[in-house]
Homo-oligomer: A and B are copies of this chain.
């Protein structure tokens, strides 16, 4: 049996004593836990970014991995904290929708527990840091082999992140940028198949600006070229070869992107 995997995703920043404290709390309860940093640079309090980040990374992890997510603008208010079991993964999350895009993508039905069993929490519970005082110790106890229902009661309602759906119309698909990667590549919510269905001469626009190139891989065009391609997530991506499309186009999450069939142009 391998040691239990516990991943961490936060908006605390890499230099944060808050991350260090959470690692200490988890290992203090289960020194066998195998900590894996996913990201500590989710844009502050951006549950939308967290939603896309988790959907893009969690599915690869092995069965029974535990994922602690602390992107929590509502800390200390009465928002719930949840333990979600979904497609073999277990997540510990604030009830702010950060995990529901992952659920939508997997198409599986989650089992959701609202955390309430206070004997697994650190006391006194800080009003500003439930990651350290509730989520981390619950994750550690879960990694020791406890059952979902030990931590609270099942619930059937929770906050959902409403992912913007692309509009697939006649001869065109309208979507938007959902994630900017660290190269400045623009990852959209437009499925690659929807673009392919428009035919060979499809034009791609970011806002009002035409993206002239179409490639399969970055280096098929020259450095500096603005190109559209299929992202590693299977969706339409706009990139500048060896540069940043986000900087070039002043684009960010939410920027509209359209694919237009040449026949309808």
Q: Which residues of A contact B (CB under 8 A)?
A: 2-3, 5, 7, 9, 12-21, 23-25, 27-28, 31-32, 34-42, 44-45, 52-53, 56-62, 65, 73-77, 126-129, 132-133, 179, 181-183, 216-220, 229-232, 234, 237, 242
CB–CB B57/A41 < 8 A: no
Q: CA A61 – CA B73 in complex, angstroms?
A: 27
Across-interface contacts of A20 in B (CB, < 8 A): 7, 9, 38-39, 53, 56-57
- Max count, chain B CB within 10 A of own CB: residue among A41, A42, A52: A41
Residues A217 and B62 in contact in the complex (CB < 8 Å), given A17-B56, A57-B21: no
Q: CA A37 – CA B3 in complex, angstroms?
A: 18
CB–CB A217/B28 < 8 A: no
Q: CA A25 – CA B42 in complex, angstroms?
A: 21
CB–CB A65/B27 < 8 A: yes
CB–CB A128/B21 < 8 A: no
CB–CB B60/A24 < 8 A: yes
Q: Which of B5, B39, B220 contacts A31 (CB 8 A)?
A: B5
Q: CA A59 – CA B16 in complex, angstroms?
A: 15
Across-interface contacts of A38 in B (CB, < 8 A): 19-20, 23
Across-interface contacts of A73 in B (CB, < 8 A): 218-219, 242
CB–CB A17/B217 < 8 A: no
**Closest Cβ–Cβ distance, residue A51 to chain B (whole Å):** 11
CB–CB A219/B31 < 8 A: no
Across-interface contacts of A17 in B (CB, < 8 A): 39, 52-53, 56-57, 179, 181
CB–CB B39/A15 < 8 A: yes
CB–CB B37/A37 < 8 A: yes
